[in-house]
Structure 1
């Protein structure tokens, strides 16, 4: 009985340690990242800095034609992000086009 209890305690401790060491998914990370990107874009716009790196394929073209939903869809297809993150990223890209 004592051996079974000791094995059980060791197994529980190992499982808890594995949970602490494993990668953690913070649900607020994509939202926080989008906010940081939005603020960075505001600073870049204020300073007149132009990002030469192209947006994912088709996103800028859709935005130039005013097709925001298609731009979000293209962004999601190219990056694999969730809808909220893609929407925030596309809206951040809209800043220089306005």
Structure 2
């Protein structure tokens, strides 16, 4: 039997097992993080603290978008939002509509 082939099979199996173990670890950490976020949201809600989502830029951070919205130019506001944040069309549209 060709030992090179056998060594490659063993190597592929070891990499697959390692990747699988890493995926399980990441999934476990993601679940733990989600539970922590829920708890922090509950604490903030109980204390009456409003927490802005850092992934969502605020209107004050986007003066060009604010200007277009004040002028009633929704499409230009969406374009400006996309250019400023790099968001996709749907995400930009949803964000601009939330700002209205």
Alignment partner, residue 87 of structure 1: 93
TM-score by length of 1: 0.52
Alignment partner, residue 75 of structure 2: 69
Quote how far apart the aligned CAs of 1:14 are.
1.8
Quote how far apart the aligned CAs of 1:77 are.
0.5
Alignment partner, residue 60 of structure 2: 54
TM-score by length of 2: 0.51
Larger-Rg structure: 2
Q: Structure 1 residues 53, 62: closer, same or farther in 2, change over 3 A?
A: closer
- Map 1:25-64 onto structure 2 (within 5 A): 54-64=60-70
List alignment gaps of at least 5 residues for structure 1: 24-48
Higher helix share: 2
List alignment gaps of at least 5 residues for structure 2: 27-49, 53-57
Over aligned residues, Cα RMSD in angstroms? 3.4
